[in-house]
Chain A
Amino acid sequence: MPVKIVEVRNLTAWYRDAEALTDISLDVDTGDYVGIVGPNGSGKTTFVKSLFDLGVHTRGEIVLFGEPRAGFRGFSRVGYLPQKAMALDARFPATAGEIVASGILLRKRFPRFLSGKDKDAIDNAMRLMDIAGLKARSVGELSGGQQQRVLLARALAHDPQLLVLDEPTAALDPQSRGTFYAMLKHLNQAHGTTILLVSHDIQTVSVYANKLMYLDRRLVFYGPSGDFAGSPAMKDYFSRQERSILCCDH
Chain B
Amino acid sequence: MLRSLIEALSFGFMQRALWAGGLIALTCACLGVFLLLRRLALIGDGLAHVAFASIALALVLHQAPMMLSVPLVAAASLLILEISERGKVHGDAALGLVSSFAVAVGVILASIGKGFNVDLFSYLFGSILVVTKAEVWAAGVLCAAVLSSVAVLYHDLFALAFDEDYARASGVRTAVVNRLLVVLSSITVVLGIKLVGTMLVSSLIILPAAAAFQFAKGFGRAILWSAIFAVSSIVIGVLGSYVLNLPSGACVVLVNFFFFLIAFLFTRF
Contacts and interface: CB of A to CB of B under 8 A. Distances in A.
Interface of A: 49, 52-55, 73, 75, 78, 80, 82, 84-85, 88-89, 91-95, 98-99, 102-103, 105-107, 110, 112, 136-138, 154, 164
Interface stretch (B14-22, B182-190, B211-219): B211-219
Given A94-B218, A98-B220, A105 B155 contact: yes
A86 to B, nearest CB: 11
B152 A82 contact: no
B169 A82 contact: yes
Contact of A102 (B162, B168, B213, B217): B162
B156 A94 contact: no
B167 A106 contact: yes
The DSSP consensus for interface residues of chain B is helix
A88 to B, nearest CB: 7
B170 A75 contact: yes
Interface in B141-182: 152, 154-156, 158-159, 161-163, 165-172
21 contacts: A52-B165, A52-B168, A54-B168, A75-B170, A75-B171, A80-B165, A82-B166, A91-B213, A93-B212, A93-B218, A93-B221, A95-B219, A98-B158, A98-B219, A99-B162, A102-B158, A105-B155, A106-B156, A107-B171, A138-B217, A138-B218
Give chain B's interface residue range (CB within 8 Å of chain A).
Answer: 20 to 34
A136 B220 CA distance: 12
Contact of A84 (B161, B165, B213, B216): B165
Contacts of B222: 93
- Shortest beta-carbon contacts, A-B, top 6: A75-B171, A52-B169, A93-B222, A80-B169, A106-B170, A94-B219
Nearest to B85: A55
A106 B159 CA distance: 8
Contacts of B216: 93
A112 B155 contact: yes
Contacts of B213: 91, 93
B83 interface: no
Contacts of A95: 217-219
Contacts of B221: 93
A92 B166 CA distance: 16
Given A52-B169, A98-B218, A107-B171, A92 B155 contact: no
Interface in B9-66: 37
Given A80-B165, A85-B163, A93-B222, 18 more contacts: A53-B168, A54-B169, A75-B171, A82-B163, A92-B37, A93-B212, A93-B218, A93-B219, A94-B219, A98-B219, A99-B162, A102-B158, A103-B170, A106-B156, A107-B171, A136-B217, A136-B218, A154-B166
